[in-house]
Amino acid sequence: MSDLAAIILAAGKGTRMKSDLPKVFHEILGEPMLSYVLKTVQKLNPAKTLVVVGHGRRLITDFYKDWPVEFVVQAEQLGTGHAVMQTEPHLRDFSGQVLVLAGDVPLISEKTMRQLLDFHIKNKAAATDLTAVLPDAGNYGRIIRQENGEILRIVEKKDALPAELKINEINTGTFCFEKEALFSALKEVRAENAQKEYYLTDTIHILKKQGRPVFACQAENPDETLGINTRDELVAVEKILLTRAN
């Protein structure tokens, strides 16, 4: 797709994995988890695939040197918004839709990504957030939206009212953006939070304030949106993949 670019966030250290390896380089069934994401993204035939690397980047760039990807260095890990900011020079001559996803969601499928893209384009959205409904939304941000999928706001757990805490639809961290909307919103993102990081989710609020249409597209299978942060989560995803293989 000449009007599609993909950005894969792969700069994190993955402290909770208790290892010096970059998080996305931890193996699932003998393959780095990043490979699963890259292979699925390639099925969409994007015009560009950008992999944002940081911690232990030499391991990743060496391993994937023959893959059809470009590497973008995030020298300091200052949040997801900051990671995407680093890609702007690589997309200067590109116009179209930008898929942004993490390198630690190995179960995401081509079908789900196509559904996200189709929904995004059909609704002429500036941004579309892939969401999931979980039995227990836990610490995730809650999606407050209209019936047609238009997002009213994303509420973090700590800021949620009791009624909002009952909402089980959460932000998964996978997005589709119209390119110009993405980078204009990123220019307004500020690191005014406890972590002093630039959050990609802040673009949703910024685009809403600009009067741009922002939507939620719900994943049919919430398992596909599982991110891996710990070794226990790695084992859980391995079990799901083994079930699929049988």
Give residue-wise pLDDT tens across range 155-179.
888 888 999 999 999 999 999 999 9
Write down the pLDDT at residue 246.
Answer: 67
**What's the CA gap between 61 and 59, in Å, rounded?**
6
- Decide: 92 and 5 in contact? Cβ < 8 Å: no
Average pLDDT over residues 117-133: 97
Give the number of other Cβ atoms within 10 Å of residue 97's Cβ. Answer: 22
Write down the pLDDT at residue 139.
Answer: 86
Q: Which fold has domain 4-245?
A: Spore Coat Polysaccharide Biosynthesis Protein SpsA; Chain A (3.90.550)
Write down the pLDDT at residue 28.
Answer: 95
Least confident of 151-160, 172-181, 214-223: 151-160
- Decide: 105 and 37 in contact? Cβ < 8 Å: yes
| Mean pLDDT estimate for the chain | 94
- Any idea where the domains of the chain sit in the sequence? 4-245
Write down the pLDDT at residue 176.
Answer: 98
Is the pLDDT at 1 greater than 80? The verdict is no
Write down the pLDDT at residue 2.
Answer: 81
**What would the pLDDT profile of 86-113 be if each residue is shown by its tens digit?**
999 999 999 999 999 999 999 999 999 9
Tell me the pTM. Answer: 0.95
Is the pLDDT at 59 greater than 80? The verdict is yes
Write down the pLDDT at residue 130.
Answer: 97
Work out the pLDDT band at 202, boundaries 50, 70, 90: very high
| CA distances to 14, 30, 77, 83, 115 from 195, in Å | 16, 34, 11, 15, 33
**What's the CA gap between 114 and 119, in Å, rounded?**
8
Give percent of the chain with pLDDT exceeding 70.
Answer: 100
- By annotation, the residues acting in catalysis are 16
Average pLDDT over residues 195-219: 94
Q: What are the tokens at 87?
A: 């890609």
Amino acid (one-letter) located at 144: I
Please name every residue paired with 131 in a beta bridge, in sequence order, or none if there are none: 171, 218
Average pLDDT over residues 8-28: 89
